[in-house]
Structure 1
């Protein structure tokens, strides 16, 4: 036997709980509830004795309510008999009310206010129909005062809608702005009574309580039943079922919504009325009630403007986490840690720890089941002290993962064609045996490293886009380009760039703009489709002459939206969508400002179209690799689940790297070549290859810049080109030309960065001119550094 004693510092309370009162020879049955509030183990703060005596279902306070009922009627009957000498029998009366509270503490407070409390052993207890009927034998009105935390609100709504005559008294939201002695928001009746301790305050709280039943029935003077809508109770009923008007300062028309758990659906007036009608029919209510619903003007558009307005937080992220919503669960992705090594945490739908609302069309319509990792990232330090990333492919279960691998195979022709020469059969067998391989046979270690670098960049970028949080330190826009080097201004394509962002649109609210329109930004309403709920603004297939500058400007700033027939509004940086761009051309600017705002992406030509103008052996599309169109009607749930797991693993990669300062960029060699070619133009490249050929005599010697400029003008028949534009093209040629070492070697330049020489114009006239010196890669070249150079002055032309 264990005996426990209370002390001044360790109180123990015990309450007698009556199960059944004594009747005749049948003794009273009861049990005792023991409460030790300071027990270190929360699981032992409550206990019951004797063991097994407590029934499974028990309403605390019901025995006391019955006793109060009997005592009340005994007193009333005694007074009745004394005042009615005619012997008219006394009819039992119900008590005015009883109050359902959320626990012992609240019940004690309720009792102190002079009311009869009832409570259950847990918040999850479900009051049965029989228990409800038993309670209503003794009271006219049953009140419920739920806690106003997430669980309390949910259970309060459930009880109100199961028993529509229960009057629910909601504690004011303002109560949560006060903190208890533990620093936590106040939430229950006891907390409220500490602030509002007078009985009139408690009476006022019950006075504003309302039932879910939204109609009243009574007999009119003709003795017929009259049914009317109780307007306040109707809107209470709608609110209990999750119907609200959404607060939106940027919308002129009220948007009605319905909240189910944490999922928000837009509804119209017809949808609201239909819900009420169906609810009445499903409950088999009287036809008068159904007619009331069908005929009432209180469900009209104008009347529904009185629905309670609500301001919801649709934030699905923190700075260190991202939530993904599925029908069967909510998944939280974070950086792996000791508490969560996998970095992926699953929550049950509507879990109390979740405070994030989500639009119904943002719920990913597939069931999620966690799968093992499909790849592993490794970090190493190079000889230069910089962190380098590597990837090990574990299993290509996801088709999207396979697609990313193949669009990263920059050297696929060396791997699958060059190595086998004209043996097409060997090539086909190898491709079939290695459909998704980033470290293919026959490739050099440097080539494999580049391909892995490309794949890592795509995984990182996909994860970056999935994290909705916007950090000024990581304000980037993915810019997807083709790796293939073609002719200048050649429009490469069909490499799978747009598909990358199409898949992102499955997970994000996306607004797509056609970049083919070079005058896209001339439209003042270009962003009118964007709202604060837009996640991704995709400018697809950008024209080579489309000015990308304004898009880069809004990457790090607010987004101003000018809708047609509505007022202009601004979406703050934190809520503005992330921006992504795709182009079949090489961007004209690779300046530091552009690079700081861009996450470059390079797509190989693994997917390509065979034409008469190219040397491809076949046409290959994404569907060819998988034997089906990805994400079409026949895409199985297992295939969806594999992709979903891969996408969340991509997000986890970004979470792991975002605070390291690492920004994985793809191999940019081909992009640099394409950029230089675009900077030159075909006309200039043709001229320069001849004019500065190894046999031309124009290498490793001083050339007057204006003479060279005039030579190009005569060749090209272009008269409007400026010296600045000519210089830019010449610089691009010298960087790209395989036999040129550099333009204007530094040791030949003066302090102003220019080469200047005195040139004999006529026997009598010498003139100082800016010179060009292109040094070739011939090892025997000797520079003439002894010829005097002239100092640069402010009157001279801009340095070369």
Structure 2
């Protein structure tokens, strides 16, 4: 038992506690200075002084009575004494932990005598409990209470083994208790009494209970039942004696029941209940399944039966099960604030003894009884006039019954609409009010209840939506991540994925978490060996390089992802076999069907394909981690690697399949990116709420700018639902974004690159059309002979393989996240596509003609305006559309992709303003352009570096 002196010893004689509540008093210790306890005081009137046992505060502006640190805690937090002790003990880590070196019995051995049989057990009992032993049983427990339940203190317990008597003696730090248990109808040859041995301070909890003699305890046995029967008989004997004193001779006494009995969860809970004057019953384990016959017998003796379960996860589950099996049992639920305190061993409080220790007053328990309800939601009344039973629904009991079955309304700060939910084993499903009514109707059928009760369900206003909307509102924690890990949820378990691997958790979710049913992956899983190994290296310039070793695996999704990363597939699978035999080509294609590092590729080509694959693995892992870090606020941006002509939309490369696979792991909202005015819709995020994990903007139009989403990517987002008020989702809770497009981003500036995590897809999967040169159409199904991730074509093993692959992607990402690494794909072709997009077909045709390799416009100064006019005249375009700024941007793109042009406007030719300015033939200063070829070396004849002029138009 933790005492005030224990807390003072851990808090510098209570000074730490005082300064916790009054930090302003720090300069007033051990001197005569005063401080203000209350900010609104005019004058400082409180002082700190060291007393014999601890520091205390005397406030002369209040009671002028010295307050101990515990008094202060009680005052400032409105706690009772025991609650304050528990609160402070938890805050300052004061425990009364059981220790093997201290909490142990005195064990002695001696040779057995001739009359001491092998295997026999015998004991000596003390006459009374000591005060300390009574406190172990409960804060209110007295000798009369342990006597009533036939508890004794064992002075010693001995047993004979190998002709040696081993005796275990009680000590002040290791008491041994024994309860005499009576069997009403013992089996033939079995004793009518056995003893339950209880060692409450045994550090090994599993060894605290034992029974003697061995085999005497029946399989079905309820502790306290014999005492309840005896109390029933005594009660009626007393009542009958009183009745006989006043009754007439022909009057017959009718037996009466006791008012109530209580099912408790253990020995000490039952003792605390008995100390309050009630009759306890308790089972020998949490797994004991009480029978209907046993409950029926209990009701022979009592009018009302209560159950007081623990409020840990097991206790709550068992309490609900019992309440729903036997609808008339009233359940006394301990208050939830109890778990906020810790016991003397530092563990969360959960049981009735904990409650009595913190709230020992009789009236506190009476308050709990006022809230106890049965699960039976209808009342019945016999009418003498109609000679029939009438039924009515009890609304409070109905709502309680529904909560026992997992029906609630969900607390939602962002909506005025009532959201009905059903919870089963931490899995949450959103439902409608009519689903609750259907459940009630089916319940009455399953329980074979009278038709009048079934009609009540259909006809009563108490089962209408207006009444059901008042169901208990619940707050749930749907957090599925930590900063360093992510949970995956399955029907019978969950996985915690970290950088170190996959950890499986059975049964209930950890830390009271809940999960939407849509986020439960409905497949059986087991953890598989790694499917790949990625090594991170650095080159001579300090840049990151990655290599991947693909292990033996059976994941179809991984194989698909490999092929979407094979950007040199045509060289390997087509061009290399143009002059060779078909059989040899087919054999190679079969052997290397899913090979990221084919032997016909160069080392550089293999490295480029591997980087593409590593980037996809990293991006998948990033998106699966629901945790959002401000330093890694990115959106996935998937595009094709193939360079096409202007406005050529390649597609069919498998991008969308990857992104749509995320829906198996998270709540996803899809938006059509084909509409370039998508963001003009004020209700664009109508389907999004705080539980949405991912927003996919699929198949983006070339003119849909990602800049419209920048704020949503790097900060929170405002949602404006139809027919409801708008609300804001903070960054930490807002969904991640992903984009797929057949076009390149319109911008490759620093702001865009900081927000996007690019993904590049090869054209291994493609569509053959008259406009392209593909030899055939190849789809994902063609590679596997079936559709991937479908209910009809996929087995449980297929799902297990793919789920493991996704989890391993996440594991790789988490291993890189702490290093500040962002794995981008090879971008050469994407940059080229960007430049071709900037030019357009007409400009590219003009530029290759105007700056032909054999022409006169290379390696010489040209007036930019004259070149611009030449293009406008050639392409017959509007200057309003093709502005000088766009022309210059296109010219830069041409310079980057033209194989014989090295640079435009060499830096050595520019003036201090980084512009190329020269006088034209008329002596007028103009903006110039100069395209230097790869074989040209600049000389003094090409320019005059001393000639500078800041005039002209920016270019």
Tell me, in whole angstroms, the C-alpha distance in 2 between the residues paired with 1:744 and 1:121: 90
Are 2:925 and 2:952, in contact at CA under 8 Å, matched by a contact in 1?
no
CA–CA distance in structure 2, aligned partners of residues 290 and 516 of structure 1:
53
Please, which of 492, 496, 499 is the counterpart of residue 332 of structure 1? 496
Aligned mate of 1:626, from 765, 784, 805: 784
Which residue is 2:17 aligned to? none
TM-score of the superposed pair, with normalisation by structure 2: 0.78
1:114 matches 2:273: no
Asked if the contact 2:696/2:738 (under 8 Å) is kept, the reply is yes
Q: Do the aligned partners of 2:196 and 2:209 also contact (CA within 8 Å) in 1?
A: no
Equivalent residues in 2 for 1:296-695, closer than 5 Å: 296-336=460-500, 343-350=501-508, 353=510, 355-423=512-580, 424-632=582-790, 633-695=792-854
Superposition deviation, residue 670 in structure 1: 0.4
Contact 1:332/1:345, CA 8 A, preserved across alignment: yes
Alignment of 1:174-213 (within 5 A): 174-213=337-376
CA shift at 1:323, angstroms? 2.1
Aligned to 2:425: 261
Residues 34 and 177 of structure 1, relative CA distance in 2, 3 Å threshold:
closer
For residues 22 and 403 of structure 1, what CA distance do their matches in structure 2 show? 69
Equivalent position SS for 1:439: coil
Partners of 1:26 and 1:640 lie apart in 2 by: 56
More moved, 17-26 vs 189-198: 17-26
User: How many angstroms apart in 1 are the aligned matches of 2:705 and 2:625?
Assistant: 27
Is contact 1:16–1:33 with CA below 8 Å preserved after alignment?
no
CA contact (8 A) 2:910 2:916 kept: yes
Within 5 A, what are the aligned runs for 1:121-270? 121-222=284-385, 223-270=387-434
Q: Which secondary structure state, in structure 2, belongs to the residue aligned with residue 681 of structure 1?
A: helix
Partner of residue 932, structure 2: 775
Which deviations, in whole Å up to 9, do the C-alpha atoms of 1:260-289 show, x marking residues without a partner? 111222232332222112212212233333
Matches of 2:888 and 2:953, distance apart in 1: 13
Unaligned runs of 5+ in 1: 337-342
The Cα offsets for residues 564-614 of structure 1, whole Å up to 9 and x where unpaired, read as 222222222222221110111111111111111111111101111112222
Q: Deviations over 1:682-725 (max 9, x none)?
A: 22222222222332233333333333333333333443343332
Which piece of structure 1 moves more, 26-35 or 515-524? Answer: 26-35
Indicate yes or no: 2:944 matched with 1:787.
Answer: yes
* DSSP-derived class of the 1:489 partner: coil
Offset, 1:644: 2.0
Contact 1:32 1:50 in 2 (8 A): no
635 and 21 in structure 1: CA distance in 2 versus 1, 3 angstrom threshold: closer
Change (3 A) 1:268 1:770: closer
1:88 aligns with 2:240: no
1:737 paired residue number: 898
TM-score by length of 1: 0.93
Alpha carbons of structure 1 residues 790 and 177: separation in structure 2 relative to 1, 3 Å: farther
Q: C-alpha deviations, 1:188-221, integer Å up to 9, x for none?
A: 2222223322112212211221111112222224
Greater displacement, 699-708 / 678-687:
699-708
Paired with 2:472 and 2:294, the residues of 1 have a C-alpha distance of 33
Shift in Å, 1:411: 0.5
Kindly indicate whether the alpha-carbon contact (under 8 Å) linking 2:327 and 2:374 is maintained by their aligned counterparts in 1.
Answer: yes
- Look up the SS of the partner of 2:628 in the other structure: coil
CA distance in 2 between partners of 1:134 and 1:500 (Å):
62
Give 1:339's aligned residue.
none
Who is 1:340 aligned against? none
1:285 correspondence with 2:449: yes
Verify the 8 A CA contact 2:716 2:728 in the aligned structure 1.
yes
Deviations 1:230-285 (A, max 9, x none): 22211111111111122223334322221111122223233222211221221223
SS at match of 2:664: coil
CA distance in structure 2 between the aligned counterparts of 1:446 and 1:277, rounded to whole angstroms: 69
Question: Secondary structure in 2 aligned to 1:537?
Answer: strand
CA drift at 1:391 = 1.5
d(CA) in 2 for partners of 1:619, 1:644: 29
Deviation at 1:161, TM superposition (A): 0.5
Matches within 5 A, 1:697-708: 697-708=856-867
Q: 1:29 to 1:321 in 2, by over 3 A?
A: same
Partner Cα separation in structure 2 for residue 292 and residue 490 of structure 1: 67
* Equivalence for 2:51: none
Greater displacement, 683-692 / 498-507: 683-692
Q: Which stretch of the first structure deviates more once superposed, 444-453 or 142-151?
A: 142-151
Q: 2:868 aligns with which of 689, 698, 709?
A: 709
Tell me, in whole angstroms, the C-alpha distance in 2 between the residues paired with 1:326 and 1:627: 28
1:757–1:788 contact (8 Å) kept in structure 2 = no
**Distance change in 2, residues 1:787/1:267 (3 Å):** closer
Aligned to 1:747: 908
Name the counterpart of 1:47.
210
Match of 1:34 in 2: 198
Cα distance in structure 1, aligned partners of 2:352 and 2:204 = 25
CA contact (8 A) 1:20 1:29 kept: no
Aligned residue-pair number: 786
Range with greater deviation from structure 2 (693-702 or 539-548): 693-702
Asked which structure has the greater RCO (Cα within 8 Å, sep 6+), the reply is 1
What is the SS of the residue equivalent to 1:219? strand
Distance (Å, rounded) in 1 between the aligned partners of 2:832 and 2:783: 30
* 1:169/1:210 contact within 8 Å kept: yes
Deviations along 1:631-671, one digit per CA (max 9) or x if unpaired, are 34233332222222222222222222222212111111100
Paired with 1:682 and 1:316, the residues of 2 have a C-alpha distance of: 49
Out of 133-142 and 48-57, give the one that drifted further. 48-57
Provide the C-alpha distance between the structure 2 equivalents of 1:513 and 1:11, rounded to a whole number of angstroms.
69
Q: Would the alpha carbon gap of residues 483 and 548 (structure 1) be closer, same or farther in structure 2, given more than 3 Å must change?
A: same
Q: Tell me how far 1:400 sits from its aligned partner.
A: 1.0
Partner of 2:33: none
Local SS of the residue matching 1:453: helix
Q: Note the C-alpha offset of 1:22.
A: 9.7
Describe the superposition over 1:159-194 as per-residue Cα deviations: whole angstroms up to 9, x where unpaired: 100111110011222333344445544322222223
Match of 1:66 in 2: 229
The change in CA–CA distance for 1:791 and 1:103 in structure 2 (over 3 A counts) is farther
